[in-house]
Amino acid sequence: MGENHTRPLSEIEIRVKALETLLIEKGLVDPAAVDALIDTYEHKVGPRNGAKVVARAWTDPAYKQRLLADGTKAILELGYSGIQGEDMVVVENTPEVHNVLVCTLCSCYPWPTLGLPPVWYKSAPYRSRVVIDPRGVLKEFGTEVADEVKVKVWDSTAELRYMVLPERPAGTEGWSEAQLAELVSRDAMIGVAKVAAPGK
């Protein structure tokens, strides 16, 4: 903390501070509202929520069934809901099917379980290419999908928000839900990655 004290602020930090001060002084922004917003996206929503949903599904077959039947309700069981997650659909990766998500029209993404979308997810190249050449795009993410596996690309053009339930990796037999959740990455829940087996 102390050592940063004399570091000069970067240009963007100065600009943000100036804007914030002006907005507050003019009464246009309530600083408590800004704090609440930052707190929400720093601590309350994000891919760790989704990882817990996945780990629960991996360890509790009845939960998995509920999750695939009604994603919104099952995700709410773990306490996650809210804007951009009002109507959730969870699609399951299996040895036969690999699912991957996109929003070709804009950047629709399930905020309560995955947080805010990464920049590449919102970029025109990802959105235009993953629909035409999903296997090629997956390869660029380092994800090989075997020829005999079907690829399904889900384009969230409406109000449904999607999340991929990745395959549980081998070598995790007997692991606790908390241990399993640590393995689950954001990219695996978008479907551009798989969950790597431990130690790989």
Partner 1 sequence: MAINLVQALGAALAGASSREAEGSAPRFKAGDEVVVLNINPSGHTRMPRYIRGKQGVIDRDHGIFVFPDTFASGTGKKPQHVYSVRFTARELWGPQGNPKDALLVDVWDDYMEPR
Residues that bind partner 1 (CB under 8 A): 27, 29-30, 32-33, 36-37, 40, 81-87, 89, 104-105, 131-132, 134-135, 147-160
**Residue 13: CA count within 13 A, CB half-sphere:** 4
**Catalytic residue status for 103:** yes
User: Is there a catalytic annotation at residue 176?
Assistant: no
HSE-CB of 16 using CA atoms within 13 angstroms: 6
Query: d(Cα 87, Cα 89) in Å, to the nearest integer?
Result: 7
Identity of the residue, 161 or 168, whose beta carbon is nearer to partner 1 in the bound complex:
161
Minimum CB separation of residue 1 from partner 1 in Å reads: 27
To which H or E segment does residue 195 belong?
A: none
Smaller CB separation from partner 1, 11 or 148: 148
Active-site option among 10, 108, 123, 176: 108
Active site residue 185: no
Question: Active-site residue 10, yes or no?
Answer: no
Encode burial over 29-40: b for 16+ CB neighbours within 10 A, e otherwise: eeeeeeeeeeee
- As annotated, the active-site residues are 103, 106-108
